[in-house]
Structure 1
Amino acid sequence: MLGASGAIFGVIAAFATLYPEAKIAIMFIPIPVKVKYVLPVVIIGSIYLGISGDAGGVAHLAHVGGAIVGFILAKIWKRHLYRFN
């Protein structure tokens, strides 16, 4: 597989881990939503699409893998987030 979407999921998961109360605006939804509610929905959707086989040439489980790595790295980095202040 080739692409950067797994890395983007990793960045989103890391952001959600570090700042869960932050609000984001999703395209076509005019109401800002907290990122801690959006991320689980997107991951569950990716797992469903990856297992069901209706992916249409998209590696949805690679998205989940990127999110897991982003979550783990954010947990590690969170200990050192404000180390230089």
Structure 2
Amino acid sequence: MSKVTMYYKVTCPYCIRAEKLLRERGVTDLEKISVDTNREARAEMIERSGGRTTVPQIFINGVHVGGCDDLHALDAQGKLVPMLEA
């Protein structure tokens, strides 16, 4: 199973929804990086995501897949599970 990194905020409903989908698809290695009060982590997220400032920002094996809606779209297209299994 792939390594997944998710930048998130504790109270963000989209972050909760994204994590739920990832767990449902079998992700056990989920690195969660809070950007609530950590400016350095937020700056890192913005740089890694190509300028995106919203959360969550999700990376699978270092590849940026986007936010919650992007993750759900990948799943709907049948592309999420193969990505996670790669």
For the aligned pair, the TM-score class normalised by the smaller chain equals: 0.3 to 0.5
Greater share of residues in strand: 2
- TM-score of the superposed pair, with normalisation by structure 1: 0.36
Q: TM-score, normalised by structure 2?
A: 0.35
Q: Return the index of the structure with the highest Cα Rg.
A: 1
